[in-house]
Each structure stands twice: as structure tokens, then as C-alpha cells.
Structure 1
């Protein structure tokens, strides 16, 4: 008889007091404990334990959000369906007969676990110290205490696996995952998304504790056991693997081979790694964009998208080596298999162009066609006659926020976020303009957010400078921070909301200050004089003018009153997201240097409210 069946035979008084669903939930958590303790020493034991831990985390987060962990289930949820799913899950985790017959697992039944049961960490995450977390410890303790009460009436039966067939275990994990997903499906869609992002943040924090590629392989294998296909968590794991190679340009072949193997496992197929590129096989090159640091090139007869990253070797040999390593790290980041939420192109390889003192990053062109037109930037669309719907603009905004959120979770910073660096690739010259399938480019200055990582000074470019935080343009600039990316994001969201380029707002603000200094009124100037003044203001792009623009965007007392206008155009919630990006609340976190606090604030203040915007 299964442990689950015996638990259900407990006195009715217990069921009536604590609730059937709550008791089943406690049985599930105890079942996860039994499962984790059932694995014996073996090469893949860590994979199995990690996979079980992932499923338990998902269930605990659901229980926390639904209220059931405190025996206070949200009355809006279907209690009978929840009870049914939890009962099936509990049986799946504790029925040794089911494990033998349905999943062909070699189960050996032993004595009941001692009372009190061993601490959770000592049993389920043995040899996996990077999985130890106190985030859900309260919820786990409550449910294990309840399971102990039921165990006094009818103890769970302890068991162990003498051997495990990987394919059968994978089927079991997927069935467990599906039952948990059935519980998630009873929640509102936006609540499901919130839980998934919270779980992703926790796993990102966990990844920073991993210090070797072997542990990352455990995570990748666990994801392969529990999930089908590509998921953002795999991307975060791969990007952490890239950061663990401190000197990829000069590291030994063993480490590089180990990283390639890890990427193959993540793809569950042969990973298309970086390939050697040869300048003599390059054909026509076309430069694009305001800075001239991107374009297209024909390589081996195929059109590729390219970006250039400048370098300066005037520094010391050590600084040169670190910069080379940073260049290769960036290429590996852009080459790693990524979930679509990252919205990046796939890097093929890099070419050193020493005469121009720059590296070329080559990417696959994301669409296929006979006559491929040049990509359109978001800035191009905003300054054209194209008028997308508010629905499409909100969807685009959500995609850009999710992409930057994911990039920050992987502990990388963009450093040059703007509407010039959001591209759309038409399939043909006659393709209608659309906001579908945006790609974020412009990674020339990007780097990991770790101490000592080489940070290239930003080149002055008026078209891009108007998107940069004014602190980045000061002579005594102390270094980039993720909050500066959020400021740039806020300006892009401002453009999307008003559907006009931020340059117009900058010039309007700077023009007022310039005319005040000259003691002249705008109506006194001819059209040509106004054009000349605007060109001069943009060409100089003074840091003080950028600071003044920032203040004007937040000030509800001036004539333009941007906060009120934003609310009129896109609603209060979207407006608050934009103002949060442009304000100083994220900059105030700089002294704390706590990435988890920053990411949680990003989630609660930016990602979550914008995801709730629906038309």
C-alpha cells in the first residue's frame, strides 16, 4: 500500500481541522524529501536531486501565492480541482508500487525515516551547496511539521532507488511538472508570470554562488530532465559559465572544451560555436546607423549583420590582455544559445581589424529572403509616418523590459540602450512596417557587472548621448551601473508612449535655456535661425542640457507637463513605469551594491506593472 493511501486514512478530525488540500500539500513536500533521500551514490545522482529540488520550489511558490501554505486558500480558486491535483501529485511522489510499475524504477522499500526527520538541507541538497536557500524555508518548515503530525498516525514508508533509467525518470519528472502546472493554470495568467519571474530571480542569485563548470552541468542536466526545449534559465546558466572563464583568450583548451560540452548539453544537440572568420572571404560591407559602428557584410555569399567594437592598445600589457578577454567574453555571450526573451542576434564569430583598431562581430541575419532590405530601427519608425496601435506599442515595451531584465539577471549591462539599437528585419522590400520581432543590438560597450571588468569609456555621439544618463558623460565618471541602463530604457519607453523621438524633447528643453541666456524669445527667431540653434545645441549636447531635460521630464509644473501627457496617452500605470525609470530611486541603491535588491526592485517597479498593462 502506498504511503499516500495510508496518509489519507488518517483520522477525519485532522482533515477537518487542517483541510484536505493542506494535508495533501504537506504530503507532497514530505514526498519530495523522501525522493531526495532515495538516490544512492552514482554519477547522475546530483542531476536527479537537483531536478527534484526545482519541482519542489515551483510547488512551494505556488502554495505561497495561493495561500494554501498557511491553510488559507484563496476563495477564488477551484478547491476541488486543487485537491485532486495535489492528491495525484502526493501519490506520484510516495507510491512505491506506482514508481515500480508505471516508471519501471528499481525501488527498494526500507524503514520509515527517523523522528524527527533530518533537516531538509542535509537530505535533499546533499553535495549541492549552491542550491541551499532560505527563501522558502518558512513555507517548507510549516508543511513538514504538518506532515510529521500525519506521520504519527500513519508513517510514510522510506525507500531508495537501486537503479534508475534516465528516460523513465525524465517521464516521471515531466508528469510531476505537469501536475504542478495544472495548479499554476488555476491562477490568473499575470500571477503565473510573476511567479515564474520570481523563480528566475532566485535562480539567478543562486548562479552567482556557483564557482565551477561541473556544478553548472548539474543545473543544465536538471533542466533537461524537467523541461522540454529552451528556457531562460538555461541561458542564465550558460552566461554564468562564460563568466567563469576569467581569461578565455588564453585559457587552456580543456576549459574551452568543457564550456563547449556544456553548451551542447543545453542545446541537447551540437552547439553552433564561434567559428574562425577570414577577411579575404568578406564581400560588400555597408555601414548603418548614426555612429557607423554597425552594418551588413556578405561573407561566403551570405548576408550577415555586423557590429564593430573599438579598442585602444595604449594602456599596459595587462590592460590589453583584460580587454582582449572582455572582447571574447562578449562574443561568447552573444554566441550562447539564448531564450527568445533576450531578443538578441546570434553571433557567428569575430574578426580583428588592427588597422582600424576595432573588432568586427558577425551575426546571422535573422530572416531569409532573396532581396533582404536594410533593417529598420525603432528610431526610424518613430520618425516616419508609421502609426502603430497602442496595443502594439505596449507589447513592444513589455518585450524590451523583459529583455533588459533578463540581461541584467545574467549580470551583464548593455550600456548603450536606445531606439537606434532596437532593430526590425523586414523579409522583403515590400514587407509592411510592424513592431513585431524586435532585436536589441549595440553591444559594443557591454560588459559583465563584476569588479575589475574592463569598462570602455563611452564615445561622445550626440544622437546616442541624449539617451545616456548624464553622470556617464561627466569627466569624473566613476563607472557604469545597471541603473543607467534603466534610465535609457525609460527614455525609449517615453518615445514609444508619445511616439516621437526624445531628441525633440531634448531640443525643446535646451532651446528654452539657450534663449533665456540670450534674453530672446523663440518667436523673434526666423526658421533658419531656429534650425541653426537646434543643430548647435545637438552638436554640443551639453551634459547640463541633458540634466535639464531629465528634470523637465519629471516636472508636472512646467508648460509641457510630460507626466500628465503620458497618463493621457498610455494610462497611469505605464506613466508610473516611465517615471520610475527616469527618477533616482535606482541610483539610490548604488551604495548598497546588492544586485538582488536592485533586481527585485526592477521586477516590482518596472516589469510587473508594465506586464499588467492590457488593452
Structure 2
């Protein structure tokens, strides 16, 4: 009979060997990642390397090899497949050894310079691997005597760049999400660490310089790594396999936000297509819209491969095209009023004048307005007087926005109307208009109705199914807008539009409009404050109310979305839900009575004092809205949970609670894109996946 102690010892021995081999594979990835100045034509190699690194790290978390405290789990779960796993990991390790056979140890210098020491050639000259070993690399080491003598060396034992550990901050381990539904978050940590490292390397020219001698062999090796990682993923269960597939897609989305050039976006798209995992045909408790196929707005479901693909691929392609337009300053939006024959017939205004129906080129359209304050325009000739008109920076931003809206290759999930161009209205109206065409699916020619109009109609009815479908469409549209680097800045129920799609009176699919304040995500860009409009202010985050300091950020858009989700759940406007207008009017009346009772004040001074007191009351009331929701004042959120379900409740709470950027610490000060990528990931996990996971 076999000794139980021997069996246990054997199992521990197998686990220890697997851990050792896996650590060797990790070092192999890091060895190539820390190299700098990779040729531009090989950018896809490095990006695919990052994707594969993230994929194997995600698998390691599932398998129990990523953390010492989980090592025991490896033996319990993978006894049957451990020999296959060992064979795959060993082959990976051997592949990396063949790629770096001539180099014994990569070291990290205190002055942040990477150097190669102890090569088999024993010299500082260029080193080339032997042709029969595998793909060849030429390395130019920095001079060890440069800048004053020897420096103390530390071996690389872990990632050189500190990562922002998103799991520490609870962005993904929300108390509202059961642990069984929480996914793995290590992948984005590694990607962010790589991004931070790449930024550091770019500022230090004295690094290892890599040059491909045989690029084909390198990509063949990369393809083999991808296939081997596929084998590892197949050793997991169906549920975990789907989570790993979703994690890969989410990693690619994070990398899309971290890329800063068109070339990198193209390389990422190319790499993502290669590593794409087929979507398992099974229903799991928490699905993601990004694991589903999508079509372009003008395509049909049977249009073939050219009309279909994952939403990530469509977003990446759209980001590339949009970035190329922005890079070419001459190729921005269409300025329609520059043509001599420009004519447009304006009809009735809706939504308090923000939207106007019109006829343009014999086509039924509608116009959305952006008002501006005239500013002095310096003349080109120094002898001429300044003229007054729209700020040139504003005109440029509106042109960029028009270019975004004019692109017809947007995925249908983008959910924004097509724009025909923009124009400046005639004096004395100081405003620009965006001409938007009716959705192709609309069966009527009238201007689409807004959610605000529908909610204020007492005859309006909706089913729970319709409300959830509306919410799913709106959150996905906002995610797509954020994914390509834009902020909406004016999200409210009046900017959620519907067009009739059925003779049976159904509301139809929502699409987002009201882009008059929208702008690209950039910290150095000026930010227009919201109008002093009570009906609009209800949707503004407390930190963006009044004269609060700081620029507009993604958190504020998401907060506005949370208010809209509440409106959809109650099927009431936010003003009716929170009684803001009624309470403000009551406060104004009480303040006026109080002021008029003071005999020392004139009538005008009494009105002025009453207005000031009412403004203070209004400001405090609006800022308390967030606390009222989170504290479940008057059972606000209890109703949502009981009516719309726990997942819908979780999504609303996540939007209203938001993310405190300060929790990332001072190390995130120069990594705004990294923080943005983390927030994108949190929004995907806690809002989109929660709503998409609702089953009725």
C-alpha cells in the first residue's frame, strides 16, 4: 500500500515544479518587455506579447499559481491535467530559453538603466544569437563605465514598475457583487505596469536596443506561445474558460485606452484578432456585451464577416479612423455654412429650445444647438480692429465633434445619430447647430422624442423589460463614447432620444444626443461649466456643482448616467422624483417673506437677499442628492432593488458612488490614462456586466 505521506509529498513536489517552471515563463515575458526602442514595424509583436502575458497570468490566478497563498489550490483542481500543464509550461520555458540563449542575466541599475551583463560573448559589442538556435536578436548594451564608474546592481526579481493594484481599492470587489460573480483583475495590473514601464523607457534613451534579425521567426514563436496558452485555458472548466475569454477582451479594451498613437492602435487590433477566443455557446450568470458579435449600423445580420466582429474590434477600428482624422488637421468636421448655397428650413423647437426640427436638402432632420459667448478675434492685419465672434478653440472642438458624429462606420451599439455637418446661425443668435439625420430604423419622419418628454407624459407606460433594455442600451452607448476618448458633459434624460420602430407603440431603442458640451478627454483642455439651470443641475455630480474647482472627468458622466437609470426605474423625471423644483420654489417664497419682514430693507434689497438665501438652499439641496440615494433616503434604492432587481440596483449604486481618484495615491499623478483605464474596467464590471446579466 502506498504511503499517504509519500503521495502528499509527491503532490507537493509536482506543485513546486509547476511553480518553478511557471516563474521561468514569467521571467521570459519580462525579459523581452523591458527592452526598449523596438522598431516601429514590430510594434504588434510587443503588444501581442503583452496580451499573451496577461492571458497566462489570468490563467495562473484561476489555477492557483499566481500567489503563494493559492498554491494548494493547484493540486486540488488540476490533478488530472497536471502532466499536460507541466508539458505546456515546460515547452513555453524552453521556447523563451531559446530566444535568449546567449544571455545569462538581465540586471537593473539604480540609475534606471537596463544593462546586459555576463553574456556568453564576454564583451560589450553587439551580440547575435546563433542562426540554428532560433529567432535572432541584436542587443546594444550601455557602456558600464559611462557617466562615472561602476554602479551598484540589483537583479530583477519582480516587475520593475510599481503597478496600481486595482483590487486593493475595491473597484471590482464591490460589496454589492457576490464573490462568485467577481472576475479576475490581475491582467489589467500587469498591462498598466507595462504601460508605465514603457513610458519610463521612452524618456531614457540609454537602454537595451533590440533589432529583429529574423522577424518571421519571432512571430512564429509568438504564435506558438498563443497556442500553448490556449491549451492551458482549455484545462479549466467551461465557466472559468468564459471568464478568461472575457478577461482577454477587457485587457484589450484597457490597452486601447493606454495606446497613444494610431500605429499602436492598429497593432493592437491586429494582435487582438489573432488571439481572439471563440465565444462559448453557454449561458453564464454574468455575460458581457463585449463577448457578443455586433454589426455596423448600415449592415444586416447576414452580411458576412465584413459586417460582423466583436465590439472591441469595431471600437478599435473606429478609434483608429477617428484618431487619423484628428491627426490630419484639415480633415475635421463639415462646415456647412461655408458653402454659398447653404439653406436650411427650421421648424418647431422641442426640449426647451435645445432641439429644432428642420428640412435640409429635402430631407427631414433635426438641429441641436450650441450657444456661445462672443469673444474678441484678433485680426491678421495689425492695422485692423478686432472683431467679435466664436472663440477659434471652440470652433475647432465643434469641428472635431462633428467629425466624430459624421463617421458612418460606428458600431450600432455606439448609439449616436449620424451628423451631416454643422453651421453657425445667423445674427443675432450666437449659436452653432449640428444637423442630425433621422435614424434609418425610424418609421416616422418627426423629430425623435426624448426620454424627458416621454416621462413627463402622464399617458406614457413601459414594461420592466422595456426599461431594462433602455438602460442596457444607454450604458453601452456611454461606454463606447468613453472608449474612444470623449466625454459627454451634458447627459440627462433630455439627451436620450427614441424614434418609433413599431406600429404597436413600443418605445424603441435609445440613442444618445445632446453633445453641445462634449469634448475629448484631455487634462489640458478648457472646460465649460454647466448652465445655471435647475433642471440640468439635478444630473450634475456634487463636485461639479456651481463653482467647484477642477476639470470635468469621466466620473461626472457616470454619475449623470446613474440619475438617468433611477428615472428609468421609477419612470419619472429626476425633478419629480426628488421634488427639487417644488422645494426650491418653497424656499424662495419663505426667504422672500423673511426678507420683506425686515423693515430696514428696501423692496429691491429684500428680493436680492431672498434670492441669495434661495441659491444657498438650492446648492445644498442638489449636493445632498447623492447622499439621499446612497443612504436610501425614503426608501429610494429599496424600491429599485425590489422592482428592478439586485443587479439593476448594483449598477445604479456603482454609478452614483463612483470612484474616488485620490485613492490611487500620489504614484498615479502622471498616469491619467492608467487611472482612466481602471475606471473603464470598473464601469464594465459593475455597470455593463450587471445590467447585461439580468435575466427576465
TM-score for both structures, normalised by structure 2: 0.58
Instruction: Describe the shift of the 1:400–1:41 C-alpha distance in structure 2 as closer, same or farther (beyond 3 A).
Output: closer
Give yes or no for the alignment of 1:608 onto 2:605. Answer: no
Spell out, residue by residue over 1:326-351, the C-alpha distance to the aligned partner (whole angstroms, 9 max, x if none): 22222333345545554333444333
Aligned partner of 2:14 among 17, 32, 36: 17
Instruction: Describe the shift of the 1:467–1:603 C-alpha distance in structure 2 as closer, same or farther (beyond 3 A).
Output: same
Find the residue that maps to 1:608 and give its secondary structure: helix
Q: 2:367, 2:435 within 8 Å by CA — same for their partners in 1? A: yes
Give yes or no for the alignment of 1:232 onto 2:342. Answer: no
Find the residue that maps to 1:49 and give its secondary structure: helix
Match of 2:375 in 1: 314
Q: 1:412, 1:449 within 8 Å by CA — same for their partners in 2? A: yes
Find the residue that maps to 1:488 and give its secondary structure: helix
Partners of 1:598 and 1:340 lie apart in 2 by 24
Q: 1:307, 1:442 within 8 Å by CA — same for their partners in 2? A: yes
Instruction: Describe the shift of the 1:455–1:22 C-alpha distance in structure 2 as closer, same or farther (beyond 3 A).
Output: same
Q: 1:398, 1:611 within 8 Å by CA — same for their partners in 2? A: no
1:516-531 to 2 correspondences below 5 Å: none
Give yes or no for the alignment of 1:50 onto 2:47. Answer: yes
Spell out, residue by residue over 1:42-69, the C-alpha distance to the aligned partner (whole angstroms, 9 max, x if none): 7732223323332332332343355343
Match of 1:501 in 2: 573
Give yes or no for the alignment of 1:546 onto 2:617. Answer: no
Find the residue that maps to 2:391 and give its secondary structure: helix
Aligned partner of 2:434 among 345, 361, 364: 361
1:174-185 to 2 correspondences below 5 Å: none
Partners of 1:67 and 1:575 lie apart in 2 by 32
1:394-473 to 2 correspondences below 5 Å: 394-427=468-501, 430=503, 432-434=505-507, 437-469=509-541, 472=544
Q: CA deviation at 1:290?
A: 0.9
Partners of 1:432 and 1:76 lie apart in 2 by 56
Spell out, residue by residue over 1:151-184, the C-alpha distance to the aligned partner (whole angstroms, 9 max, x if none): xxxxxxxxx8736399999987986786677578
Q: Which moved more, 1:191-200 or 1:412-421?
A: 191-200
Instruction: Describe the shift of the 1:598–1:31 C-alpha distance in structure 2 as closer, same or farther (beyond 3 A).
Output: closer
Q: 1:372, 1:426 within 8 Å by CA — same for their partners in 2? A: no
Instruction: Describe the shift of the 1:163–1:350 C-alpha distance in structure 2 as closer, same or farther (beyond 3 A).
Output: same
Partners of 2:243 and 2:394 lie apart in 1 by 43
Aligned partner of 1:323 among 388, 391, 394: 394
Q: CA deviation at 1:493?
A: 1.4
Structure 2: where are the runs of 5+ without partners?
1-8, 109-113, 117-136, 141-158, 164-185, 192-211, 277-307, 380-389, 592-610
Q: CA deviation at 1:282?
A: 5.2
Q: CA deviation at 1:496?
A: 1.8
Q: 1:203, 1:233 within 8 Å by CA — same for their partners in 2? A: no
Q: Which moved more, 1:574-583 or 1:169-178?
A: 169-178
Q: 2:497, 2:511 within 8 Å by CA — same for their partners in 1? A: yes
Instruction: Describe the shift of the 1:30–1:498 C-alpha distance in structure 2 as closer, same or farther (beyond 3 A).
Output: same
Partners of 2:397 and 2:373 lie apart in 1 by 13
Aligned partner of 2:644 among 538, 558, 570: 570
Match of 1:378 in 2: 451
Find the residue that maps to 2:577 and give its secondary structure: helix
Q: 1:239, 1:333 within 8 Å by CA — same for their partners in 2? A: no
Spell out, residue by residue over 1:438-472, the C-alpha distance to the aligned partner (whole angstroms, 9 max, x if none): 22111110123423413234334444333234664
Find the residue that maps to 1:416 and give its secondary structure: coil
Partners of 2:655 and 2:566 lie apart in 1 by 10
Question: How many equivalent residue pairs?
Answer: 524
Partners of 1:139 and 1:466 lie apart in 2 by 39
Q: 1:489, 1:581 within 8 Å by CA — same for their partners in 2? A: yes
Find the residue that maps to 1:567 and give its secondary structure: helix
Partners of 1:433 and 1:517 lie apart in 2 by 42
Partners of 1:605 and 1:357 lie apart in 2 by 37
Q: CA deviation at 1:603?
A: 4.8
Give yes or no for the alignment of 1:199 onto 2:260. Answer: no
Give yes or no for the alignment of 1:112 onto 2:90. Answer: no
Partners of 1:339 and 1:87 lie apart in 2 by 42
TM-score for both structures, normalised by structure 1: 0.65
Instruction: Describe the shift of the 1:161–1:94 C-alpha distance in structure 2 as closer, same or farther (beyond 3 A).
Output: farther
Q: CA deviation at 1:492?
A: 0.8
Instruction: Describe the shift of the 1:454–1:513 C-alpha distance in structure 2 as closer, same or farther (beyond 3 A).
Output: closer
Q: 1:345, 1:366 within 8 Å by CA — same for their partners in 2? A: yes
Q: 1:341, 1:406 within 8 Å by CA — same for their partners in 2? A: yes
Give yes or no for the alignment of 1:164 onto 2:216. Answer: yes
Partners of 2:342 and 2:218 lie apart in 1 by 45
Partners of 2:436 and 2:83 lie apart in 1 by 50
Instruction: Describe the shift of the 1:166–1:335 C-alpha distance in structure 2 as closer, same or farther (beyond 3 A).
Output: farther
Q: 1:174, 1:226 within 8 Å by CA — same for their partners in 2? A: yes
Match of 2:238 in 1: 186
Larger relative helix fraction? 1
Spell out, residue by residue over 1:276-335, the C-alpha distance to the aligned partner (whole angstroms, 9 max, x if none): 645746555455541433355544444455433222332555982222222222233334
